[in-house]
Amino acid sequence: MIEVEHLRKWYRVHRREPGLKAALRSLLHRPYEDVKAVEDISFSIGAGERVGFLGPNGAGKTTTLKVLAGLLHPTEGRVAVGGFLPQERAREFLTQITLVMGQKQQLLWDLPPSETFALNRAIYDIPRAQYEETVAELTALLELAPLLGKPTRQLSLGERMKCELAVALLHRPKVLFLDEPTIGLDVSMQATVRTFVRAYNERFSATVILTSHYMEDVAALCPRVMVIDKGRLIFDGALPDLIRRVRPDKRVLLRLSKPVEQRDLLPLGTIISQNDAEVIIQVSQEGLQASVARALSTLPLRDLTVEDPPLEEVMRDLFAQGNAA
């Protein structure tokens, strides 16, 4: 569905320095510099896949997304989406894709969302029957019924996002580009958005590409992740593999039936936290079996669980490593 070969995207920008003097100087001479937003990225994504783009701010995620959507032309390399060259902006291409940006909206601010629906029906030339079916379906899935008649400005952020998603999907696109779709939403609304995107993906076997700051989004939605850092693709694979690679350790959570001495715990691994009833220990992948066996035989346990390190921590480590390299 999506083929990217040796994609490069450079911008030339003028450098702005703070302060009055620098501003005055820049009236006469304006320094330029090249920003290498994307540096030689290649990948391919099959139809129906859900892929998450991970990376710190300014890593090149959104740039890559915009190149895929045809908004930006690649400086070098070849990009094909659904058999089209995105930058040609063919009508057939545009009717197959959609872009949702968490911070930008296409809903008309002072009119009810239903008005934007009607407008998009005309713009995408959606057959009446299909339109009505899609609207009914989206309304049911996202519980839009009470929202469609209210002016957009009166909706809460979460309600607006639901309508924003619906309007972006009216034409049943085959490729969804989601740029920070859950930004600013509360936890339950984030979950709603995730469930919905997944349902849409399964129902229409649409390809989904997501960028998000919330690891939960990526963990819940995307079997495959791509880590982009400083314009380069540094990982492409399943999330558990990524975690294993960055943090090859596990966490053993022990629930105790009675307090134990610290020296009894030390042989198991590194203690992360300890109180009378609960202990968390960090254990290397290889030492896991021995530690668990030892804990089971020597400690007064009520319960024992083995977990991956928290995702946010994995990410922090990942980009800290990247910055050190």
Binding site for another protein (CB under 8 A): 11-13, 16, 18-20, 23-24, 26-27, 30, 63, 66, 69-73, 87, 91, 94-95, 97-99, 101, 103-106, 108, 110-111, 115-116, 118-125, 151
Phi, psi values for residue 307, rounded to 5°: -130, 160
Residue 156: CB minimum distance to another protein, A: 14
Q: Which is nearer to another protein, 110 or 241 (CB)?
A: 110
Residues ≥6 apart with Cβ < 8 Å to 277:
255, 256, 259
Q: Check residue 16 and report its DSSP letter.
A: -
Q: Which is nearer to another protein, 6 or 25 (CB)?
A: 25
Residue 56: CB minimum distance to another protein, A: 18
Q: Which is nearer to another protein, 117 or 200 (CB)?
A: 117
Residue 203: CB minimum distance to another protein, A: 22
CA angle 211, 217, 223 (to 5 degrees): 85
Residue 269: CB minimum distance to another protein, A: 47
Residues ≥6 apart with Cβ < 8 Å to 101:
179, 180, 181
Alpha helices in the chain (DSSP H): 20-28, 61-69, 91-94, 113-123, 128-142, 157-169, 187-204, 215-221, 239-246, 262-265, 288-298, 311-324
Residue 230: CB minimum distance to another protein, A: 17
Residue 301: CB minimum distance to another protein, A: 51
Q: Which is nearer to another protein, 55 or 269 (CB)?
A: 55
Our CA dihedral for 135, 137, 142, 146, rounded to 10 degrees, sits at 50
Q: Check residue 188 and report its DSSP letter.
A: H
Q: Which is nearer to another protein, 109 or 270 (CB)?
A: 109
Q: Which is nearer to another protein, 94 or 288 (CB)?
A: 94
